[in-house]
Structure 1
Amino acid sequence: MNRALSFTIAITMLLAGAAPATAADLKPVTPAGIESGTVITKANAAKVSSLVSPGNYVLVSQGMEMKIVPARDYNWPPPFRVSTEQDSSQVRLGPHGELTNYLAGLPFPLLDANDPGIAQKIMWNFQFGPAYSDDLDSQDTEIQNFTPGGGNPFAAYPIGHLAVYRNLGREEVAPTPTDYDGDTGIMERMALGPIIVPIEPPFWQTPWAYMVRYRYSSPRRSDIVWSDLSVPRYWYGEFPSIGNSDYLLGNAFFGNLDLDSLFGFAGRFQDFDFKFLGEKEMLAVVHARSLPARRCAADGGRTICPEDWELRHVYVVEADAPRPSRFADIPAIAKRILYIDSQGWFITASDQYDHDDKLWKTLAIFNTVRDREYPDSKAAVYSFDRLFQTALVDEDVQSGYSTIFFTPSPERPQHDTWFINQGIISQRWIVPQRFTTHREYFY
C-alpha cells in the first residue's frame, strides 16, 4: 500500500468517526496460535491440550473455563532483587542436597540444564522465591469439598490463619537475614488454625483445631508436627480420599488436599528424589481478576473460573517419594510433577500419581499480582506489587471429588487478609504451647 492510499484511508476513517487501530486494539496471538481473548471451554479444550498439565487438562475438559490473555511480567520486590545480586554467588549445594552459605534472595539465579544438581537448585529457588521472605499471614481462608456432581460443598472448614515465619532468608523485617531461635536450626515455622469444624460432640471435643509444623535446615533432622486433630475414621463414610486422622500428616486433610501440597508443594526436600524433566511454555493464572476467587459455574463449582490464563515459561520437576507411607492403609502419593514459574518461582500446577503410575490428583493454583488486595485496602498496602494466591484446586481425577482451598474465603466480608513481610507473625506466635496439643509427630 502506497503512502497516498494509506493517508486517504486514515482520513476517511477519522471523518467516519472511527480511529485507526492501535497496538492496544490488536489481539496478540500466543506462540501456540491462540488469539488473546479466546475463551476456552470444554467444547474447544483441545486447543490447550499441550499448554496445560495432563491433570489440568482434565479440569478444562470437564468445564473449567479459561480466558487467554497476554502474558505480563512479575517483577521481583526490590529487597529480594538486591539480596539476590549481593548474596547468590556464594550459595552452594551440600553433599546431601542441602543449601549452604545461603543468606537471602534467590539461591541460584543462574541455572544450567546440564548441571546434575539442577532439579535440587530449582526446588531451593521455589522454597526461597520472591513471593514472601520473612513472614506471611493469610487470614480467613476456607477449605470446601465437592462431590463429582458439584453443587454446594458437602463440607466446609473456615480457617483463621495460614501463617508462616521464616528463620532463614529474611529481607524486610528485623532481624535480617537470619533469626535462628537459640541456634535451634529451625528454618521455617508454619501454623494452620483455628480450623472451624462443623461437627458436634461426641465426634469432636472442641469445634476447632490447629496444626503447627517446625522444619529444620539440617537434612538429618525430621519435621516436627503438633496437631490437636482427632477425626474418627468412620465419620467420612464413602469419601474415597480420606483415611484416618493420621492422614493429616500422610496424604490428605479435610478432603483431597494434603499437607505436602500447600502452595503447590510443601514437602521436606530430603524426603523426595527430584528429577529435572525440562522447560516448556504453559498456561497459568498469575494475574487473576477475581479476589476472592469465584467458583466455576460451568463445572458445577468444583474449580475456579472464568479466570485469566497467560503463557508462562516453566521448569518441570518430578518429585518422587522413595519411602512408602508409614501408614499401611493409606495410598501415599508416589510421584508429583511440579510446574514452576521461571520468573516468579511459584508452582502453577502439579499432577500427582499413584503407585501404579496412574494420574491420581491434579492441582491448579490461582495467583494475582497487585500492591493491595482491594482498591480500598488500608491495612496492607505495599510500595511494590506482591504475589497473592487466591485459590488452590485439588481434584481427584479418578473419583471426581474436588477440594478448593480459598485464600481468602468468598464467604467472609471483604477485608484485607494477606499480610506479607509485615512482622504480623513472629516465631513466638507459632509455638505448640499456643494451641491445644493432643499429639506430636516426628516425620
Structure 2
Amino acid sequence: MKNPKQTLIAAALLALGTSQALAGVSAEEAKKLGTSLTAVGAEMAGNADKSIPDYTGGLKDIPAAYQKGTGVRPDPFAADKPLYSIKAADVAKYESKLTAGAKELLKRYPSMRIDVYPTHRSVGYPKYVVDNTQKNATSVKTNDGGLGIEGTYAGYPFPIPKTGNEAMWNHLLRFGGHGYYTQYDSINVDSSGKAVLATTGQINVEYPYYDPKRSGASGEADIYFRTKIAYVAPARRAGEALLAQDYINPMKNGRKAWQYLPGQRRVKLAPDIAYDTPNPGSAGASTYDEGWIFNGALDRYDWKLVGKREMLIPYNGYKLTYAKEPMAVTTANHLNPDYVRWELHRVWVVEATLKEGKRHIYAKRTFYLDEDSWYAVASDQYDARGQLFRSGFASVTPAYEHPAPAASAQWFHDFVGGGYNVSGMLGAYNVGVKLIDGLPAAQWSSEALAGAGVR
C-alpha cells in the first residue's frame, strides 16, 4: 500500500506538470522546417505513388480571368476532370481514406457520390508568416494544461506538434490574412429536401494576431480573433448583428460576445454564443463551436493527437464557393456532387473526448486538419451512446494572389434529425473573400454593433 504522504507529493507534482508552461521543439528538430518539412510543418515530399505531389510553394500561376483587387477568384483548376468517383458500393475499397461522415452519406443515400480530382497543394504563405513560424517552433509554450499559449509571434505556434492541444491551436491560429470581408448565404435543407435561405450575412473577420505591423510576442490578454456579422436577409432576421472576440489565453480571458436584436433596439452581452449552444443560422444542424469546423476554447475536452493519414477531403472548392446560384448546390440529403471537388491530402487526426464533469452534446469528436494549411476540413461528432450524430466539412479555397489559405464554404449534416446546412456561399454577390487591413478599433466596440445592425 502506498504511503499517503508519497501519494500527496505525486498528486502535487502532477498538478504542477499540467499547469506549468511546456516548451516547443528543440533547435535541431526545428531545422526540418524548410527542408524535409514545409515552413508550417507539412511533409515536403509527396506520397509514394505521387497521388499526393511534392510541395512546391503553393499555386504560382494566377488565372488570367482574375481581376486584380477583387475578392472573386476564378477556379484555377476548372479544366481538371475527376480521376474516379466513389459510391456506396465502393466504400469498403476506400474505407481508410474516408471520414465517418463521408461513409455515412454514401451508405445512406444512393444519390451521393464523391468525385476525386487530381491533388493540388495550392496553399502558400507570405514571408512574415514563414519567418515567425520558424521562430515559434522553439519558443512557444502552452500553459494551463494546453488551454492557453504564450510567447507566440505572428505565425503558426506549433509547426511540429506533439499534442492534440498544439495541433488544435494551429487551427485556431490558422493564417487567412490579417482580415477579410465577405457577403455570404447560409442555406438549410430539411429532411424532406426542402431548401430555404437561413441567412444572408455581411461578415468581417480579423486576426489581430496576424497584423503584419505587429512586433513582439502575444500576451495572454491579446485578442487573436474577432468577427462581426450583420444579417441582411431574410426579412425575419434582417437587422440582427453579432460581435465576438477570442483571446490568446481563454482561461484568463474568456470569449466576449454581444448581440443586437432590432426588436429590442439594444446591444446586449451574449455569453451563450459559444460551445454547444445551437446555432440558429443552421437551424440547429450545428453548434456555435462548429463554426469554421471548430472555434473557441479547448477546455471541455481532452485532446489526443492520433497521427497523420491520407484522406479524401473537400479541397480547392472554387466551384462550390463561387457558385452563382447557391440554391443549385443543394439537393435532398446532401450537396449536389457536381459542385464538390474532393482530393487526396494528408491530414492530422485529432480526437476530442469530453472531460469528466464537463457538459457538451458531443461526447466525442474527431477533427481532420489539412497538413498544408492547418485548417480543419472535416469533423465527426458522436453522442453519449457512441453513435455518429453529426459531421462537418469545409473546403480549402486559397486566395492565390495574396497568398493566404481560406475555407469559406462549410456544411454540416445531422444524421439524427436529418437535413443539413451549407454556409459561406459567395457566388450571388460580387464580393468574394476580400482581404483587407484591420478595421479601426472603434468599429469593434459594442456601441458600433448597433449601427451595423440597424435596418
Give the TM-score of the pair, scaled to structure 2: 0.69
Match of 1:165 in 2: 206
| Mapped contact 2:322–2:432 kept (Cα < 8 A) | no
Q: Deviations over 1:131-185 (max 9, x none)?
A: 33x2232x211211111232432x4211111x222232x253x3446788xx954
Report the equivalent of 1:192: 229
Work out the CA distance in 2 between the residues paired with 1:188 and 1:151.
35
Which residue of the other structure, out of 100, 107, 126, is the alignment partner of 1:78? 126
8 Å contact from structure 2 (residues 240, 259) kept in 1: yes
Q: 3-state DSSP class of the match of 1:388?
A: coil
Counterpart residue number, 2:179? 135
- Pick one of 43, 47, 52 that aligns with 2:98: 52
- C-alpha offsets along residues 70-102 of structure 1, whole Å, 9 cap, x if unaligned? 222234313221222234321122243121111
Structure 2 residue 429 is matched with structure 1 residue 429:
no
- Distance across 2 between alignment mates of 1:94 and 1:313: 29
Q: How far off is 1:258 after superposition?
A: 1.9
Aligned position for 1:109: 159
Query: C-alpha distance in 2, partners of 1:69/1:271?
Result: 37
Preserved CA contact (<8 Å) 1:192 1:210: yes
The worse-fitting range, judged by mean Cα deviation, of 47-56 and 295-304 is 295-304
| Cα displacement (A) at 1:360 | 0.8
1:362 equivalent in structure 2: 391
Query: Does residue 401 of the first structure (1) align with residue 419 of the second (2)?
Result: yes
Counterpart of 2:138 (choices 89, 97, 100) is 89
* CA 1:296–1:340: 2 relative to 1, 3 Å: farther
Contact 1:286 1:369 in 2 (8 A): no
Q: Is the 8 A contact 1:368 1:387 kept in 2?
A: yes
Q: Deviations over 1:230-259 (max 9, x none)?
A: 99xxxxxxxxxxxxx997541332211321
Shift of 1:435: 1.9
- Change beyond 3 A, Cα 1:268–1:49: same
Alignment of 1:341-352 (within 5 A): 341-352=370-381
Q: Does 1:156 align with 2:198?
A: yes
Structure 1 segments unaligned to the other structure (5+ residues)? 1-27, 200-205, 232-244, 326-330, 372-381, 438-443
The verdict on how the C-alpha distance between 1:78 and 1:228 changes in structure 2, with shifts beyond 3 A counting, is: closer
After TM superposition, list the pairs within 5 Å mapping 1:34-53 onto structure 2: 37-42=83-88, 44-53=90-99
Aligned to 1:419: 434
Partners in 1 of 2:378 and 2:444 — Cα distance?
Answer: 28
Give the match for residue 120 of structure 1: 165
SS of match in other structure, 1:77: coil
Cα distance in 1 for partners of 2:238, 2:349 equals 41
Q: How does 1:301-316 map to 2 (within 5 A)?
A: 302-306=334-338, 307-316=340-349
Hey, what does 1:4 align to over in structure 2? none
Residues 145 and 229 (structure 1), Cα distance of their counterparts in 2 relative to 1, 3 Å cut: farther
Match of 1:19 in 2: none
Instruction: Provide the secondary structure at the position in 1 that maps to 2:434.
Output: strand
SS at match of 1:76: coil
Q: Which amino acid aligns with 1:89?
A: T
Whether the 8 Å contact between 2:302 and 2:352 is mirrored in structure 1 is: yes
Deviation (angstroms), 1:351: 0.8
Identity across matched positions, percent = 18
1:260 and 1:230, CA in 2 relative to 1: closer, same or farther beyond 3 A? farther
Residue 185 and residue 356 in structure 1: after superposition, are their counterparts in 2 closer, same or farther (change >3 A)?
same
Q: Secondary structure at the match of 2:341?
A: strand
Are the counterparts in 2 of residues 30 and 36 from structure 1 also a CA contact under 8 Å?
A: no
CA separation of 1:156 and 1:105: change in aligned 2, threshold 3 A = same
**How many positions carry a matched residue from both structures?**
355
Q: 1:282 to 1:417 in 2, by over 3 A?
A: same
Kept in 2: contact 1:302–1:403 (CA 8 A): no
Q: Which amino acid aligns with 2:201?
A: I
Higher gyration radius (CA):
1
Question: Secondary structure at 1:264's aligned position in 2?
Answer: coil
Separation in structure 2 between the aligned mates of residue 53 and residue 64 of structure 1, nearest angstrom: 15
> 1:320 is matched with which residue: 353, 357, 365?
353
Q: Residue 280 of structure 2: SS of its match in structure 1?
A: coil
- Counterpart of 2:149 in structure 1 is 99
Q: Of 279, 287, 291, which aligns to 1:262?
A: 291
* In 2, Cα distance between equivalents of 1:301 and 1:354: 21
Aligned-residue Cα RMSD (Å) equals 3.1
What SS does the corresponding residue of 1:260 show, helix, strand or coil? Answer: helix
In the superposition, relative to structure 1, how do residues 248 and 129 fare at CA in structure 2: closer, same or farther (>3 Å)? closer
Which residue in the other structure is 1:69 paired with?
117
2:235 paired with 1:209: no
C-alpha contact 1:167 1:178 (8 A) present in aligned 2: no
Give the Cα–Cα distance (whole angstroms) in 1 for the partners of residues 346 and 293 of structure 2: 17
Cα pair 1:351 1:362 within 8 Å, conserved: yes
8 Å contact from structure 2 (residues 244, 258) kept in 1: yes
Which amino acid is the alignment partner of residue 90 of structure 1? S
